[in-house]
C-alpha cells in the first residue's frame, strides 16, 4: 500500500506509521566522490609529511580526476614534489605540464617548474657522464658548462 493511501485511511496514526521507517534509518554511506576526496586529502597530507611512497599512487590516480581547480592544483603540486623525490621523472613532468596548462601565470607554478626542470637537467647530465663519459655529447656538455662559467682554461 502506498504512503498516500495509508495516510488517507489511517488518519494521524497512518502518518506516524508512514514515517516510522525514517526513525530507525542508518545514515547512508558517503558517496564515492566524498570518499575519494578524503583519500586525496589524506594523500596530500602524506606528501606534505614526506611520505611520498604511500601518497604517490593515490595522487597519480586522482590527478586526472580532480574535480575542482584548487584540488587539482594541490594534487599536481604534491604529485610533482613526490615524483621528484622518488626519481619518477615522467610522473613529475606530467604533473608539471598539467600545472603549466591550467595555471600558466601562477608564480609558484613557474618557480617549481624552473626548479624541477633544472634538477632533471642535472640528473640527465650526471647520467650521461656515468653512461657515456667519452661521447661527443658529454664533451660538448662539459664545454658548454665551462663556457657558461667563463672558465676558458
Higher pLDDT among residues 4 and 91, named by residue: 91
Query: What pLDDT is recorded for position 64?
Result: 82
User: Residues 70, 35: contact at Cβ < 8 Å?
Assistant: no
Residues 85-89, mean pLDDT to the nearest whole number: 97
Q: Is 88's pLDDT higher than 80?
A: yes
Closest CA to 17 of 9, 27, 26, 7: 7
Residues 52-69, mean pLDDT to the nearest whole number: 92
User: Residues 94, 117: contact at Cβ < 8 Å?
Assistant: no
Summarised one tens digit per residue, pLDDT across range 89-143 is 999 999 999 999 999 999 999 999 999 999 999 999 999 999 999 999 999 998 8
Query: What pLDDT is recorded for position 12?
Result: 46
Query: Where do we find the cell 586526472?
Result: 64
DSSP annotation of 68: S
Query: What pLDDT is recorded for position 33?
Result: 54
pTM recorded for the entire structure: 0.71
Domains of the chain, first to last: 34-148 (1.25.40)
Residues 67-80, mean pLDDT to the nearest whole number: 95
Query: What pLDDT is recorded for position 66?
Result: 77
Summarised one tens digit per residue, pLDDT across range 9-19 is 444 434 433 44
Query: What pLDDT is recorded for position 37?
Result: 79
* Pairwise CA distance, residues 125 & 147, whole Å: 16
* Pairwise CA distance, residues 12 & 19, whole Å: 11
Concatenate the DSSP letters of all residues of 126-152 into one string: HHHHHH-TTSHHHHHHHHHHHHHTT--
Amino acid at each position: 500500500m502506498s504512503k498516500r493511501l495509508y495516510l488517507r485511511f489511517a488518519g494521524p496514526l497512518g502518518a506516524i506509521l508512514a514515517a516510522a521507517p525514517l526513525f530507525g534509518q542508518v545514515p547512508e554511506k558517503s558517496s564515492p566522490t566524498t570518499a575519494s576526496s578524503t583519500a586525496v586529502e589524506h594523500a596530500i597530507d602524506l606528501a606534505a609529511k614526506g611520505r611520498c611512497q604511500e601518497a604517490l599512487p593515490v595522487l597519480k590516480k586522482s590527478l586526472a580526476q580532480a574535480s575542482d581547480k584548487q584540488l587539482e592544483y594541490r594534487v599536481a603540486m604534491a604529485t610533482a614534489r613526490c615524483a621528484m623525490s622518488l626519481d619518477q621523472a615522467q610522473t613529475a613532468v606530467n604533473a608539471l605540464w598539467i600545472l603549466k596548462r591550467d595555471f600558466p601565470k601562477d608564480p609558484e607554478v613557474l618557480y617549481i617548474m624552473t626548479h624541477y626542470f633544472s634538477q632533471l637537467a642535472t640528473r640527465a647530465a650526471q647520467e650521461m657522464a656515468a653512461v657515456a663519459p667519452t661521447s661527443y655529447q658529454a664533451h660538448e656538455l662539459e664545454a658548454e658548462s665551462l663556457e657558461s662559467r667563463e672558465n676558458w682554461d
